[in-house]
Amino acid sequence: MKTKLILALTLSVLAANTYAADGSSHTPGAYRVAADGYDKTPGANAVAADGYDKTPGANAVAADGYDKTPGANAVAADGYDKTPGANAIAADGYDKTPGANAVAADGYDKTPGANAIAADGYDKTPGANAVAADGYDKTPGANAVAADGYDKTPGANAIAADGYDKTPGANAVASDGYDKTPGAAAIS
């Protein structure tokens, strides 16, 4: 009798837990079946309101239904992919040459270096003030081009007022234009 009683209790417990109140089988786990009878994709809010699966990640599907390119602001307003890097596409849609201000206002590449292209579009010769106002290269050195455009002979006051070269040394050309013999009072 004892065996029949244990068997009857076991069957009644099993029968009570086998069927749900609505008569359908439950998927293991709480609330695995949605209200409309479709299975939920595992995870919170995995099925969008329109029934499509959401791409994993926050806001991974754009408002127009296209997948966003991974990364912040990776798709430009016009739908094209942005070139990686900040401000990598210029306002006119061309790629900027890497580096700050690498494309001049007229669209040509700047020669590397500060102020490397003169106002008239020619390359400056490297060095400060290397191109004279008239566009000719200055001879290296301070004040190397005289006011009349001729090269100065190296040295201070190397060209006399009359345009002849002075003989090296102090007062080496006499007032009458002859060379002084080296030494004091060499011409009597």
> One digit per residue, pLDDT tens: the chain, 188 residues?
788 888 888 878 777 766 555 555 554 555 555 666 666 555 555 556 666 655 555 555 566 666 555 555 555 666 665 555 555 556 666 655 555 555 556 666 555 555 555 666 665 555 555 555 665 655 555 555 566 666 555 555 555 666 665 555 555 556 666 666 555 454 44
Provide the domain limits for residue 83. 56-110
Nearest to 72 by CA among 86, 51, 89, 90: 86
Whether residues 120 and 83 fall in one domain: no
Give residues with Cβ within 8 angstroms of 60, minimum separation 6: 54, 67, 68
Check: pTM over 0.75? Answer yes or no: no
Q: Alpha-carbon distance 64 to 39, whole Å?
A: 26
Whether residues 123 and 79 fall in one domain: no
Whether residues 79 and 106 fall in one domain: yes
91 conformational bin, left if phi > 0, alpha if psi -120 to 50, beta if neither: alpha
Among the candidates 110, 132, 154, a domain finishes at 110
Query: Which pLDDT does position 121 carry in this prediction?
Result: 61
Q: How many domains does the chain have?
A: 2
Q: Which amino acid is located at 135 in the chain?
A: G
Q: Alpha-carbon distance 30 to 148, whole Å?
A: 99
Q: Alpha-carbon distance 59 to 118, whole Å?
A: 50
Indicate whether 14 belongs to any domain. no
Query: Which pLDDT does position 11 carry in this prediction?
Result: 79
Angle in degrees, CA 146, 147, 149, rounded to 5: 65
Q: Alpha-carbon distance 48 to 65, whole Å?
A: 11
Whether residues 159 and 147 fall in one domain: yes
Query: Which pLDDT does position 2 carry in this prediction?
Result: 84
Q: Alpha-carbon distance 152 to 142, whole Å?
A: 10
Whether residues 118 and 164 fall in one domain: yes
Whether residues 133 and 154 fall in one domain: yes
Give residues with Cβ within 8 angstroms of 97, minimum separation 6: 103, 109
Query: Which pLDDT does position 27 carry in this prediction?
Result: 47
